[in-house]
């Protein structure tokens, strides 16, 4: 019975460690190559047990027990010949390549990103160190349009775990209110209604007050063009509503963050440093991980100390305390290096699976050649959880001969064999050509798409429209 109890306790400890490492890996996966490089540089400054490997001038792949693995050339390529080819060897591209390398890395334009602009404003505020950490985490969880992507509870948990600073959701909410005071107006909203309200709260005047009331109390009615109901409830006439809509509501920005570099605009591709590079050589595709992270190792002084404590177990209290400090730093560093390697391998596996699924596109550059693809498909291909795939593909880019593409570009669910991307493009064309005095409702858009051969339900139109940032008909309408 005693042995059984001991075994149970050990299993629980291992599960807890696994959960912690998985969360840390998930955090690393969310970062792109440049963000991860910045973090590694900070870790090198903060952690005395971590240092650059002396073999950083070449890819020094090692197994978990410290032995050399395959040669760098074996671990540096992934070639795709015919679709039926077996899994090829992998390639991790080092940051410092040789003189005869021909890989093209696009020039990165030093324009202010949304995050940089917000952090600069935060630095000018009188905040405590804790509040600055919270603000930084909030800004890090904004998408390209400036919307907050995670709950305050999740952000509080991240700070408590990753930064070792006890934080509760109420504290995050307080700092969130401060972040929302920054420019551009409407930043850090959770949804469109909140975004518009944040912008209107900065305006003054009677019309702005009426507009705020409409968005705050009658957003559903406004979205569904129930103008008579709004006029009746607010006791205003139709001309007043028309004026408020035209001068106040229609001048608001539904995507306050998209004007900064790093937004979704195709014209910003030249400003992005890709995480992957795919080259075409005849009928073969070659994938490279654009790895600019230095090779790391545990500092030699810590290796010697660990060996000394192993060979000469401490007896005095002071020596035992010192051993605990060294072991804690050693284990932290060992896990960090291990997780970095796991991050690289996970990213490579995901991109590898995407290429196999969308192979034709990389040769033609024609979006019509993109097959319906979901995150779950890739998760099944690489035997990982779909949440891992989501993190590994978010805010990541690949350099192809057709330009730099976000990894999300390659995903679409598909309906009746037609990719979602094709349906969305058809939807956008219809909206672009509509009479803005009488914009199409979602029902009408559904009918028009069905006439064009796209078998799609009306309830799906709203989802596709919102995913492209197309407002509802009431917000597209020019009222006379």
Q: What's residue 109's pLDDT? A: 38
Instruction: Tell me the per-residue pLDDT of 239-277, one tens digit each, with 9 for 90 and over.
Output: 899 889 888 888 888 888 877 654 443 334 335 678 999
**Tokens 């291990």 appear where?**
338
Instruction: Tell me the per-residue pLDDT of 400-435, one tens digit each, with 9 for 90 and over.
Output: 888 888 888 888 765 555 667 677 888 888 998 888
Total residues found in the chain within this entry: 480
- Domain ranges across the chain: 192-249, 420-476
78: pLDDT strictly greater than 60: no
HEC secondary structure over 397-426 = EEEECCEEEEHHHHCECCECCECHHHHHHH
CB distance 295 to 52 below 8 Å: yes
CA distances from 239 to 51, 109, 244, 303 (A): 69, 47, 9, 78
Instruction: Tell me the per-residue pLDDT of 341-382, one tens digit each, with 9 for 90 and over.
Output: 999 999 999 999 999 999 998 998 877 778 888 888 899 999
92: pLDDT strictly greater than 70: no
Instruction: Tell me the per-residue pLDDT of 11-65, one tens digit each, with 9 for 90 and over.
Output: 443 344 357 777 888 888 888 888 888 888 888 888 888 988 875 544 433 333 3
112: pLDDT strictly greater than 60: yes
Which H or E element spans position 115?
A: helix 114-123
CB distance 107 to 399 below 8 Å: no
Q: Which fold has domain 420-476?
A: Arc Repressor Mutant, subunit A (1.10.10)
In angstroms, rounded to a whole number, what is the distance separating the alpha carbons of residues 150 and 30? 13
Q: What is the largest CA-CA distance in the chain?
A: 88
Q: Give me the DSSP letters along 298-364.
A: E-HHHHHHHHHHHHS---SHHHHHHHHHHHHHHHHHHHHHHHHHHHHHHHHHHHHHHHHHSHHHHHH
Residues 309-318 have a mean pLDDT of 85
Instruction: Tell me the per-residue pLDDT of 202-230, one tens digit each, with 9 for 90 and over.
Output: 888 888 899 999 999 998 888 877 888 99
CB distance 215 to 196 below 8 Å: yes
Cut 0.85: pTM above it: no
CB distance 306 to 326 below 8 Å: yes
> Is cis: bond before 184, omega within 30 of 0?
yes
């Amino acid at each position: 019975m005693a042995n059984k109890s001991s075994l149970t306790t050990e299993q629980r400890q291992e599960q807890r460690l696994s959960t912690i490492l998985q969360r840390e890996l998930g955090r690393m996966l969310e970062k792109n190559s440049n963000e991860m490089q910045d973090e590694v540089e900070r870790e090198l400054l903060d952690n005395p047990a971590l240092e650059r490997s002396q073999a950083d001038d070449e890819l020094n792949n090692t197994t978990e027990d410290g032995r050399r693995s395959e040669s760098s050339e074996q671990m540096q390529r992934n070639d795709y010949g015919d679709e039926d080819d077996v899994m090829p060897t992998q390639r991790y591209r080092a940051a410092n390549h040789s003189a005869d390398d021909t890989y093209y890395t696009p020039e990165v334009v030093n324009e202010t990103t949304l995050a940089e602009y917000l952090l600069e404003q935060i630095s000018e505020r009188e905040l405590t160190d804790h509040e600055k950490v919270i603000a930084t985490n909030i800004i890090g969880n904004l998408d390209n349009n400036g919307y907050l992507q995670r709950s305050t509870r999740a952000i509080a948990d991240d700070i408590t775990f990753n930064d070792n600073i006890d934080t509760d959701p109420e504290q995050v909410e307080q700092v969130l209110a401060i972040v929302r005071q920054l420019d551009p107006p409407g930043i850090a909203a959770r949804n469109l209604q909140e975004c518009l309200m944040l912008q209107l709260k900065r305006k003054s005047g009677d019309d702005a007050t009426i507009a705020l009331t409409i968005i705050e109390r009658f957003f559903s009615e406004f979205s569904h063009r129930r103008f008579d109901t709004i006029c009746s409830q607010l006791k205003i006439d139709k001309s007043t509503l028309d004026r408020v809509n035209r001068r106040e509501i229609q001048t608001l920005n539904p995507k306050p963050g998209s004007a900064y570099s790093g937004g979704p605009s195709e014209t910003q591709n030249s400003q992005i440093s890709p995480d992957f590079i795919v080259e075409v050589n005849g009928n073969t595709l070659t994938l490279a991980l654009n790895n600019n992270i230095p090779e790391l190792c545990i500092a030699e002084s810590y290796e010697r100390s660990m060996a000394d404590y192993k060979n000469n177990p401490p007896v005095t209290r002071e020596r035992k305390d010192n051993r605990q400090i060294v072991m804690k730093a050693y284990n932290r560093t060992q896990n960090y290096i291990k997780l970095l390697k796991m991050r690289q391998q996970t990213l490579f596996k995901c991109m590898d699976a995407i290429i196999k699924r969308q192979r034709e596109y990389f040769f033609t550059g024609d979006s019509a050649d993109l097959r319906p693809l979901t995150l779950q498909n890739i998760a099944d291909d690489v035997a990982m959880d779909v949440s891992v795939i989501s993190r590994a593909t978010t805010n990541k880019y690949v350099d192809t001969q057709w330009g730099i593409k976000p990894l999300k570009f390659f995903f679409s669910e598909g309906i009746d064999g037609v990719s979602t991307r094709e349906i969305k493009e058809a939807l956008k064309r219809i909206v672009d050509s509509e009479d803005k005095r009488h914009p199409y409702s979602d029902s009408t858009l559904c009918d028009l798409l069905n006439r064009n051969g796209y078998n799609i339900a009306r309830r799906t139109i709203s989802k596709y429209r919102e995913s492209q940032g197309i407002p509802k008909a009431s917000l597209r309408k020019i009222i006379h």
